[in-house]
Amino acid sequence: MSNTSPTSERSLNLPNAITISRLLLSFVLFALIQSGDHWLWSAGLFVFAVATDVLDGWIARKYQLITQLGRILDPFVDKFITSGTFLFLLPVTKESGVTPWMVVIVLGREMLVTSLRGFLEQRGADFSASASGKLKMFLQCAAATAALFLMHPPLAAYAAAGISLLAV
């Protein structure tokens, strides 16, 4: 059985510290995206930050460090960094390929799932991450990473050339 005690000494553990660091990294990421000049750094930081999600979850499960704080904070930070990345890419829709409709669908789905999670867990049901939720997170992260890479001019030229070859 996992340790879900909400006491502060157990809540402020290594997995939760990693999650909090991911939240702080997201602000650096958003500043890099907004600067409009550091696309490779943005992509690298995004990949690093979301990779820490795998690390904190693994540590929490392996060492039974699952806390109520972590169960709330981890999915929030996941949604914050992915949704925030898509939002910060909206001003450069033409170059990034991220459109308002895509962002509305992503945000709508996240709000629905968060509401369902709260509703079901309030009634005692378990709404832990599922394989389909992890696949969704992976696909969102892959799309965000691709969009950030496409913003780097040399890579954008290769992508455009590849798209042209596919059209032929």
Extract the tokens encoding 16.
């939760």
Among residues 2, 24, 12, 18, which one has the least CA distance to residue 53? Answer: 18
pLDDT band at 124 (very low <50, low <70, confident <90, very high): confident
Q: Is 114 exposed, middle or buried (0-12, 13-18, 19+ CB in 10 A)?
A: middle
Place of tokens 């997995």: 15
Assess whether pLDDT exceeds 80 at residue 167: no
Cβ contact 69:6 at 8 Å: yes
Q: What is the mean pLDDT of residues 56-71?
A: 92
Structure confidence by residue, pLDDT tens digits, 26-59: 999 999 999 998 999 999 999 999 999 999 999 9
Per the document, the length of the chain is 168
- b/e per residue 31-50 (b: at least 16 CB within 10 A): ebbeeeebbebbbbbbeebb
Per-residue pLDDT, 130: 80
Mean pLDDT, rounded, of the chain: 86
Place of tokens 């690298």: 44
> 66's torsion region: left (phi>0), alpha (psi -120 to 50) or beta?
beta
> 126's torsion region: left (phi>0), alpha (psi -120 to 50) or beta?
beta
Q: What is the mean pLDDT of residues 12-22?
A: 95
